[in-house]
Amino acid sequence: MGETELPLSWQQPHILAIHPNQVPQLSPAALAYLGDAVYELYVRTRFLFPPKRSHDYHRQVVAQVRAEAQSSHLQLLLPHLTSVELDAIRRGRNAANGRPRRLDPEVYQQATSFETLIGYLHITDPPRLWELLALLPLDPTPAP
Do 92 and 117 touch, CB atoms closer than 8 A? yes
Give the closest residue to 120 by CA, choosing from 133, 129, 112, 130.
129
**CB atoms inside a 10 Å sphere around CB 30:** 13
The set of catalytic residues is: 36
Give the closest residue to 22 by CA, choosing from 123, 130, 127.
123
Do 113 and 94 touch, CB atoms closer than 8 A? no
